[in-house]
Amino acid sequence: MAGRRRESTAPEVLLRHAVHAAGGRFRLYPRLGKGCTPDFVLPGRRVAVFVDGCFWHGCPEHGRKKPGRHPCAHHVDGRGDGAGLG
């Protein structure tokens, strides 16, 4: 999970641009309480926005990496599909 961006992900940036274009003003990553840090807040509207991406929702296309085959599979049966590994 170290390779996953924590702040300013593409969906967050797109949403922030849309809010700003509509005249909204926001604050980025304010700490509202222990363990509660939204992506941005609209203080004038008293709204906190949390943008969770595909990884956190388990999207089948983007969410998790597919498990790889066994690293020695091609040595066991020559086919490379790991069928010979019990």
Query: Does pTM top 0.85 for this prediction?
Result: no
Q: Where are the domains of the chain?
A: 10-77
DSSP-assigned letters across all residues of the chain: -TTS--SS-HHHHHHHHHHHHTT---EES---BTTB--SEEETTTTEEE----HHHHT-TTTTSPPPPPPTTHHHHHSSSS-TT--
- pLDDT tens track for 6-44: 788 888 999 999 999 999 999 998 999 888 889 999 999
- pLDDT tens track for 74-83: 555 555 555 5
